[in-house]
Structure 1
Amino acid sequence: MNPEDRAGASGGETPPRVGVFGLLGSGNLGNDGSLEAVLGYLDTQHPDAAVDALCGGPDVVTARYRIPATRLHWYRGEYRTASRLGAIAGKGLGKLVDVFRTAAWVRRHDVVIVPGMGVLEATLPLRPWGFPYSLFLLCASGRLFGTRVALVGVGAAPITDRPTRALVRWSARLAAHRSYRDELSRDALRAMGVDTTRDAVHPDLAFALPTPGVSGPAGSPRPVCVGVMDFHGGNDDRARAEEIHRRYLDGTTRFVRALVEDGRTVRLLTGDECDATVVAAILDAVDSPLVTAAEPASLADLMKEMAAADTVVATRYHNLICALKVGTPTLALSYAAKSDALMARMGLDAYCHPAREVDADELLKKFRELEERSAEVRRTLAERNVAAARQLDDQFTALTSALFPAAHQARARARALRKAS
């Protein structure tokens, strides 16, 4: 629903002003999928809400979701390495300007939602003055101006870097509402000194997205989808980043080559724009017409590809979610505990392999075991997906109660009247 439609749906009352915040529209399909799930919730349950975004890719968000969007950072070179004095000064000035820009944006809203994403973790390389600083500004501004900031279905993990950990801890403490996508995330925040007694755990927001049907002619051979990642380790692996990347790429390439030698068709998939370099390297190394690549523009595109697959082997967290959601047997190249937790939730904890040490022979062995259990795994995933959908309905009900108390009370009164009549 566009802003004009939202403004006219309130029946004369002032519509709630809702902001969404994060690295949205920046090329990461998982982040955008979480946004799409929250926008779906707002359109369904709060169609009168006036929604806009403060995000990494405002042009993309406005074009794709038809909501106004503002650039997250004043300094346009925020994500480029600053080596010259002018760039360093620009970044420093940007940090100061963003204090006032973020505060002014937050002040215009009744509610700000941070939709999913791993905003409280550092499982990938991260600097404290990057997104952790931006999130802290958001939550501090919310507390200052009385705007309810909600971290909804977010991911968290233990953080060893002290400045990053401090910013994450204070961001979480200042938020008005928190929920997590797994128990590990809640445990990580508790270990950082955040009181999580009233915080809930629900499946990842992407499980609330529509599930596409299987495409392609009936009876046609199904490919093996291999979701790759430009993986260099985590925040604590910077010294070994290139070695980790080389091992990951070499092991994944050998696995794809082994599938081709067995006569299997392979479809390479990405989850972020940066993953294209890994796809190109594998295509160059495994020169075969049996290996092709897709260019998904959304989680819906990823799900369509994976719904048409026999089996999926994937690294990125939201690639795994897409495969599991459409019920395709899935093997995880796990780069963080969140992937292991997700696979365990869906009954596939036996099918995880470390992304840091990809052993093609061991991976192929697990892959063949998974394919032998394909029918059983599909039944298990169907059951787990029904449970996930029910749990997300509960999350959205709780979110309405926490962020839109007037609407929640009105619905409660309406239900009571229906029962009385």
Structure 2
Amino acid sequence: MTRAHESPLRVGVFGLLGSGNLGNDGSLQAVLDHLRAAHPEAVVDALCGGPEVVEARYGIPATRLHWYRGEYRTASRAGAIAAKGLGKLVDAVRTAAWVRRHDVVIVPGMGVLEATLPLRPWGFPYALFLLCASGRLSRTPVALVGVGAAAIGNRATRTLVRWSARLAAYRSYRDTLSRDAMRAMGVDTARDGVHPDLAFALPAPPPNPAPGRPGPVCVGVMDFHGGDDDRDRAEEIHRRYLDGTTRFVRALAEDGRPVRLLTGDECDGAVVDAILDAVDSPLVTAAGATSLADLMAEAAAADTVVATRYHNLVCALRVGTPTLALGYAAKSEALMARMGLGAYCHPAREVDADRLLEQFRELEERSAELRRTLTERNRVTARSLAEQFAALDAAVLPAAGPSPGPLTVDTPSHSPDMKETR
């Protein structure tokens, strides 16, 4: 795709960015890194959940996603309900006007086509539909890049998600399950690509030299209450998850293992506090990570990672640390299988601390072998991500003069000079 450059290329990024979810922000960082390398002339701004954070952290102008600031609070009073309803109409106008100002809009990663966590149709699914419909009407291509998708039970949510995908000009997915889910929902996916999660494109810190004795274990926790179809059992699911995870952390501390508790969203802090109160050991500490770079640094310094949130898993696998998934959705199992660790998954809904400890010990016994596996899988991942960015450029990003040169993605390895160049 080419264009005459009477004015700079105008690129918009869209999503629940800057809202406290580290995985979402990591996906944004990966796309911004690509744009700055391949399209340095591009002028980028965002329509997002946390504009103040995005402006401060990434240095791009940002606009609030919703006109009504109480969008994600439950409305019970008549005034709040009326404001929410008015906000839907205002957002339709605001979104259309924002989209028209751009040459292309990118939705960077995230699980925007799934409902594996509690979700209301008139929240983000409606916002995404407005974006894609506005793009089609104004002839501004909307690109869903490396997104997650899953089967959706709620009819209204499923309809909004299906039409959003159909109206997008470009789609790629972070796993085959996502593409299959959209195909099952009636979207033609014949030309849609599957590539690793965008966060794998972020630079990784060097691996930590293997310690002479057992070292720290990172345990990534989540304020987990089940999925969108589990609302009636949400508290029961949360209690089981918290109790099982706490027992596991306590057992590690009793074995003398330092434990670092990781989060992936601001809401996870309550789970960290509950575990710290219950275990009460100086060996158990909270990491306080504020970015995927922080999470990768923690994972690289650990012997082993056991984690629930999807992007906690991505960070650990990216740096080549043996990882066990406390999975809450099929996407976690698909990721682990893709990286060669499919045998090391445990259900977050039914945490069995004893069985989890058995899996953990087996994982550690195979640590050296699994680190070699992850090194090789990260090479393949780097090549696939380079192909995705090339396909994105060809599909929706106008050419901008000479190529900036080959894309280089560092691959974690125990050899410090190893990298993948594409």
Does TM, normalized by the shorter one, top 0.5?
A: yes
For 1:6, the equivalent position in structure 2 comes to none
Q: What are the superposed Cα offsets for residues 351-389 of structure 1, whole Å, 9 maximum, x if unpaired?
A: 000000000000000000000000000000000001101
1:119 to 68, 88, 112: 112
2:168 is aligned with 1:175? yes
**Residues 384-395 of structure 1 mapped to structure 2, 5 A cutoff:** 384-395=377-388
| Cα deviation, residue 272, structure 1 | 0.2
2:26 to 15, 25, 33: 33
> Could you tell me how far apart the structure 2 residues matched to 1:146 and 1:214 are?
46
Q: TM-score, normalised by structure 1?
A: 0.93
2:320 is aligned with 1:331? no
Q: CA 1:254 to 1:218, structure 2 compared with 1: closer, same or farther past 3 Å?
A: closer
2:345 is aligned with 1:352? yes
2:237 to 244, 263, 270: 244
1:166 to 141, 145, 159: 159
> Could you tell me how far apart the structure 2 residues matched to 1:383 and 1:411 are?
27
For 2:122, the equivalent position in structure 1 comes to 129
Q: Secondary structure at the match of 2:46?
A: strand
For 1:297, the equivalent position in structure 2 comes to 290
> Could you tell me how far apart the structure 1 residues matched to 2:215 and 2:395 are?
45
1:110 to 103, 126, 149: 103
> Could you tell me how far apart the structure 1 residues matched to 2:16 and 2:398 are?
28
Q: What are the superposed Cα offsets for residues 287-314 of structure 1, whole Å, 9 maximum, x if unpaired?
A: 1001000111100000000000000000
Q: CA 1:71 to 1:216, structure 2 compared with 1: closer, same or farther past 3 Å?
A: farther
Between structures 1 and 2, the one with greater helix share: 1
2:363 is aligned with 1:370? yes
For 2:413, the equivalent position in structure 1 comes to none
Q: CA 1:377 to 1:411, structure 2 compared with 1: closer, same or farther past 3 Å?
A: closer
For 1:234, the equivalent position in structure 2 comes to 227
For 1:87, the equivalent position in structure 2 comes to 80
> Could you tell me how far apart the structure 1 residues matched to 2:397 and 2:45 are?
17
| Cα deviation, residue 217, structure 1 | 11
Q: TM-score, normalised by structure 2?
A: 0.93
For 2:184, the equivalent position in structure 1 comes to 191
Q: Secondary structure at the match of 1:179?
A: strand
| Cα deviation, residue 212, structure 1 | 1.1
Q: Which has the higher contact order (CA 8 A, sep 6+)?
A: 2
Task: For structure 1, list consecutive stretches of 5 or more residues without a partner in the other structure.
Answer: 1-9, 413-421
| Cα deviation, residue 222, structure 1 | 2.4
1:260 to 230, 253, 268: 253
Contact 1:253 1:282 in 2 (8 A): yes
1:97 to 59, 70, 90: 90
For 2:416, the equivalent position in structure 1 comes to none
- After superposing on structure 2, the runs of 4+ consecutive aligned residues of structure 1 that deviate more than 3 Å are 10-13, 214-221, 405-412
> Could you tell me how far apart the structure 1 residues matched to 2:393 and 2:214 are?
45
| Cα deviation, residue 405, structure 1 | 4.0
Contact 1:111 1:147 in 2 (8 A): yes
Kindly provide the amino acid, as one letter, of the partner of residue 202 in structure 2: L
Q: Secondary structure at the match of 2:105?
A: strand
> Could you tell me how far apart the structure 2 residues matched to 1:215 and 1:296 are?
18
Q: What are the superposed Cα offsets for residues 323-343 of structure 1, whole Å, 9 maximum, x if unpaired?
A: 000000000000000000000
> Could you tell me how far apart the structure 2 residues matched to 1:12 and 1:158 are?
42
Q: Secondary structure at the match of 1:19?
A: strand
Contact 1:400 1:407 in 2 (8 A): no
Kindly provide the amino acid, as one letter, of the partner of residue 91 in structure 2: D
2:363 is aligned with 1:361? no
Contact 1:16 1:110 in 2 (8 A): yes
> Could you tell me how far apart the structure 2 residues matched to 1:110 and 1:11 are?
12
Q: CA 1:214 to 1:411, structure 2 compared with 1: closer, same or farther past 3 Å?
A: closer
For 1:7, the equivalent position in structure 2 comes to none
Kindly provide the amino acid, as one letter, of the partner of residue 125 in structure 1: P
> Could you tell me how far apart the structure 1 residues matched to 2:91 and 2:25 are?
23
For 2:414, the equivalent position in structure 1 comes to none
Task: For structure 2, list consecutive stretches of 5 or more residues without a partner in the other structure.
Answer: 406-422
| Cα deviation, residue 213, structure 1 | 2.3
Q: Secondary structure at the match of 2:388?
A: helix
Matched length: 403
Contact 2:208 2:302 in 1 (8 A): no
> Could you tell me how far apart the structure 2 residues matched to 1:229 and 1:81 are?
22
Q: CA 1:216 to 1:94, structure 2 compared with 1: closer, same or farther past 3 Å?
A: farther
> Could you tell me how far apart the structure 1 residues matched to 2:190 and 2:262 are?
39
2:10 is aligned with 1:17? yes
2:136 to 143, 149, 160: 143
> Could you tell me how far apart the structure 1 residues matched to 2:178 and 2:401 are?
28
Contact 2:13 2:46 in 1 (8 A): yes
Contact 1:400 1:408 in 2 (8 A): no
| Cα deviation, residue 218, structure 1 | 6.9
User: Which stretch of structure 1 is more off in the superposition, 165-174 or 254-263?
Assistant: 254-263
Q: What are the superposed Cα offsets for residues 187-228 of structure 1, whole Å, 9 maximum, x if unpaired?
A: 000000000000000000000000012469976862100000
2:318 is aligned with 1:322? no
Q: Secondary structure at the match of 1:119?
A: coil
Q: Secondary structure at the match of 1:300?
A: helix
> Could you tell me how far apart the structure 2 residues matched to 1:365 and 1:250 are?
17
1:383 to 362, 367, 376: 376
> Could you tell me how far apart the structure 2 residues matched to 1:411 and 1:294 are?
37
Q: Secondary structure at the match of 2:189?
A: coil
Q: Secondary structure at the match of 1:276?
A: helix
Q: Secondary structure at the match of 1:406?
A: coil
Q: Secondary structure at the match of 2:399?
A: helix
For 1:60, the equivalent position in structure 2 comes to 53
Q: Secondary structure at the match of 2:143?
A: strand
